Amino acid sequence: MNIFKESIAIKTNKRFEIVDITDKINHIISKHGIELGIANIFSKHSTSAIIINENESGLLKDIENLLSSIVIDENSYYHDRIDNNADSHLKGVLLSSSQSIPISNNSLNLGTWQSVFFIDFDGPRNRVVEVTLAGQ
């Protein structure tokens, strides 16, 4: 078994942004020649998330609207006394900072409509996602 780790740099342009990183992950898998294994995708930021879902523009807007309806941007959150981004942290709490996905045939073994997304709740920023591969 081999283990590899690489970073994906992401520059977001909006406060809330969903970025499809599937192709970047598959490129890393292909580069290391992993035929069978597992990929762990981890965001190194507490105001972001990694999700798996369908890359359809209406659905991506629905995800943004859902999170905004659950966590109101303009509330009296205690953390806002520090840097005014408590809503971004709370949205991150609702989702996950990482996903583990099987690798088969030199790529992520996702379902037909599935993609891997990085979500930034507190952009625009320069972000880093760590991809750790284990396999052969």
Q: Contact 8/25 with Cβ under 8 angstroms?
A: yes
User: In angstroms, rounded to a whole number, what is the distance separating the alpha carbons of residues 4 and 71?
Assistant: 36
Residue 28 tokens, joined = 């890393």
Domain that holds residue 45: 2-72+82-135
77, part of any domain: no
pLDDT digits (tens, 9 = 90+) for 84-128: 899 999 999 999 999 999 999 999 999 999 999 999 999 999 999
CATH of the domain at 40: 2.60.120.460
Contacts of 7 (CB under 8 A, 6+ apart): 128, 129, 130, 131
> In this predicted structure, what is the pLDDT of residue 132?
98
Positions of E strands within 2-113: 2-11, 17-20, 36-43, 48-54, 98-104, 107-108
Domain count, the chain: 1
66, part of any domain: yes
